[in-house]
Amino acid sequence: MSLSDIQNRISKAEADAGRPVGSVKLIAVSKVQPDARVRAVLEEGHRSFGENRVQEAAGKWPGFREDFDGIDLHIIGPLQSNKVRQAVELAEAIHTVDRPKLAKTIARLAQEMGRCPDLFIQVNTGEEEQKAGVMPRDADAFVAECRALDLPIKGLMCIPPVDEAPSLHFALLAKIAARNGLSWLSMGMSGDFEQAIALGATHVRVGSAIFGERVSG
C-alpha cells in the first residue's frame, strides 16, 4: 500500500468522524526499515517518522536531516534513562514517558540543554505485565507529577492488547486525556488507525502498511 493510499484513508476517516481534514498526523514508523525505503517516503514529501530505538534513530536521522528539511522525528519505543540525552537531542516528540525516574531525567536534561521535545505519557490500558506504561488508575497522578516538573505533556499514548478490541482501549485513553485537559492522542497502527481516528486520535503510527514488512538484521 502506498503512502498516498494511507493518507487518503486517513482523510476519509477524518471526514467520517466529522473532524477537519488534516487534524491527524501520520507518523511513518521507520524502525528496522532499509534506508532506501525511508528515503523513498521522504522523497514523496512525508516528514513525520517514528523510531523505537534511540540508537537506531541516531544512526539514521542526522544524515537524512542533511538532505531533507523539516523532519519531525518521534521516539515511540521504550526509553531507557541512559538514552534520554540522545532522545532529547534528536526528537521532536517522545511518546513513551511511563515512570517518575524517566520524567525526572527528561526534566533535568531539558533544563540543562534548553530544549525539550513534546511529550506523551504512555498508558498501559490493558494492564499487561509485560508492557510499559502507567496503569490507568495511576495516570492522573502521573500527569500531575510531570506537570509539576514543568514538562511539556501534550497527550497520551497506548498500544492495545493484541487479543482485545482496540476501540475499548482508544475510548479509555481518550477519557483519561479529556479529564486531564490533554488534547493529543497517539493511538492507532496499521491495522486499526481508522478506529482510532473515529475515537479522537491525533497521531497514528503506521509502519508496515507504508513500508512493507520490517526487515531485521
pLDDT tens readout for residues 34-91: 999 999 999 999 999 999 999 999 999 999 999 999 999 999 999 999 999 999 999 9
Q: What is the mean pLDDT of residues 196-215?
A: 90
Average pLDDT score over residue span 84-101: 97
User: Which residues contact residue 140 at a Cβ distance below 8 angstroms, ignoring those fewer than 6 apart?
Assistant: 176, 179, 180
Higher pLDDT, residue 66 or 212? 66
User: What pLDDT, on a 0 to 100 scale, did the predictor assign at position 212?
Assistant: 80
User: What number is the average pLDDT over the span 113-124?
Assistant: 97
Using the predicted structure, report yes or no on whether residue 214 has a pLDDT greater than 80. no
pLDDT recorded at residue 216: 57
| Calpha distance 143→46 (Å, rounded) | 31
C-alpha cell at 9: 484513508
Place of cell 509502519: 207
Q: Kindly report the pTM of this predicted structure.
A: 0.96
Give the count of beta carbons closer than 10 Å to the beta carbon of residue 178.
Answer: 12
Cα separation values, 195 from 1, 38, 66, 94, 216, Å:
18, 26, 36, 23, 29
Residue 217 has pLDDT above 60, yes or no: no
Rounded to the nearest integer, the mean pLDDT of the chain is 96
